[in-house]
Structure 1
Amino acid sequence: MKILLFGATGMIGQGVLRECLRDPRVTQVLIVGRHAAGQAHPKVRELLHQDFFDFSALEGELSGLDTCFFCLGVSSAGLDEAAYRRVTHDLALAAAGTLARLNPAMTFIYVSGAGTDGTGQGRTMWARVKGQTENALRGLPFRAVHLFRPGVIQPLSGITSRTRWYRVFYGVMGPFFPWLRRLFPGTIITTEELGRAMIRVALEGAPAAVLEARDLIALGGPPTPGVAP
């Protein structure tokens, strides 16, 4: 399976990339980013690209791919709706629109978020924009589109967020995660589980387009036999 990965330097993307490199069913990972992910591995190829609203210069490199894992995302804090829409909806659709044209047999997996408003009409700005983004992606002519809505994500294997206050939060909460997972089952997913869920859905599909945290935890269960530790 040949995978295209957006957001490889973020916390989610780092976790997904790690699982891709461990899984023998993934034969190639093409990373598109503004900054190098710094991952030297025989499976990995990187393309540095600055304008994420125009991928015309990369079209020759973006065909023949099986799956896209779109792990880019920003917080809505400090942004008005127009600005948040541009870096959430418009950016995702710029990439997805190009890929749908070049790879109609592709599975496109978009990391959204718990609480997203699927109607796209609600009062909460970020949830409304995320919902509109999900709906627009589902309208594109891919073989399949799956929308992942994880809740709290626990980083494992040394993975960290680039956002300072996230790092502080995870540093404080780290010792409590095992207890919280038992107390609130189906709400906290690890980066490993999320990565495995992505690979499984890409290979096998899923019973629904929208997958909430509980679904993702189930899909991202123990590694497939043969996957590196």
Structure 2
Amino acid sequence: MSLQYQQPMKVIVTGATGMVGEGVLHECLQSPFIAEVLVVTRRSTGYQHPKLKELIHDDFFDISPIAAQLAGYDACYFCLGVSSVGMSQELYYKFTYLLTMQFAKAVATHSKHCTFIYVSGAGTDSSEKGRSAWARVKGKTENDLFKLPFKQCYAFRPGFIKPTPGLRYSHSLYKVLNWIFPIGRALYPKGFVTLSELGQAMINITRQGFTKKIIDGKDIALLAKLPSE
């Protein structure tokens, strides 16, 4: 794999007031390969850092008021998502497919050489024909993102994510179940990653590319360990 970006990158992160987005933001702020992080969010993350810029926007279904501010970025790490538990199929489709595509189209228009990474989920149905409604919606979202004119586009499918210690937005369930991580990792490496690995894998795949568009947990762990050059 050869380097796609020789200079420090400018990246966009969404979902930074959730566990995954915050973890990715943390890795980006620590990375020497990233010069600027634009967080697009409905409310402030509460973080302050020389690299960090926040763009507060309430309506992710209408990106037009802020679209021009998405110009000139090398990557977008889309970590915004909702659980399907207790949600109607119609609402889940709206908040998963429609919202994601609205944002992605705006980024594709204004940052044409951008790498877009979508945090999907293990069990996503690429055929869009399976029994699980949420898996079909995720599959359609991935498939249509791949059609947009990005420089690179990847779907990350982590399963269980071990939180990064000390961060604010870690889900309590993941904290409680941390003990299962080494067992799960040994038995099913595709389904168990750390949040730090997820963020590092995003940065490395942006810089160096990869042979696959759909990235499972085993790929994430591999990508996180890639040498910097």
On whether the aligned pair clears a TM of 0.5, the verdict is yes
1:39-188 alignment, distance < 5 Å: 39-159=47-167, 161=169, 166-167=171-172, 169-188=173-192
* SS state at 1:47 partner: strand
- The 3-state SS of whatever aligns with 1:61 is helix
Contact 1:196 1:223 in 2 (8 A): no
4+ residue segments displaced more than 4 Å: 222-225
Please give the alpha-carbon distance, in whole angstroms, between the structure 1 residues aligned to 2:159 and 2:168.
17
Name the aligned partner's letter for residue 100 of structure 1: A
Q: Distance in 2 between matches of 1:195 and 1:174?
A: 18
**1:211 is the counterpart of 2:219:** no
Amino acid paired to 2:210: A
* 3-state SS of paired residue (2:66): helix
Bigger mean CA offset, 20-29 vs 180-189: 180-189
Moved more, 81-90 or 215-224: 215-224
Which amino acid is 1:210 matched to? I
- The count of residues paired between Structure 1 and Structure 2 equals 221
Cα gap change, 1:160 to 1:221, in 2 (>3 Å):
farther
Amino acid at match of 2:37: V
Aligned partners of 2:101 and 2:30: how far apart in 1? 29
Deviations 1:51-101 (A, max 9, x none): 101111112311011100000011001112111000000000000111111
Alignment match of 1:27 (pick from 18, 23, 35): 35
C-alpha offsets along residues 157-189 of structure 1, whole Å, 9 cap, x if unaligned? 223546xxx41x223222332343234333210
Distance in 1, matches of 2:188 and 2:69, equals 43
**Shift of residue 123, structure 1, vs aligned partner:** 1.3
Separation in structure 2 between the aligned mates of residue 185 and residue 138 of structure 1, nearest angstrom: 25
* Alpha-carbon distance in 2 for matches of 1:46, 1:53: 18
- 1:194 paired residue number: 198
Gaps of 5+ in 1: none
Determine if the alignment matches structure 1 residue 9 to structure 2 residue 37: no
CA contact (8 A) 2:118 2:154 kept: yes
RMSD: 1.6
Instruction: Report the TM-score, using the length of structure 2 for normalisation.
Output: 0.91
Contact 1:110 1:148 in 2 (8 A): yes
Give % identity: 45
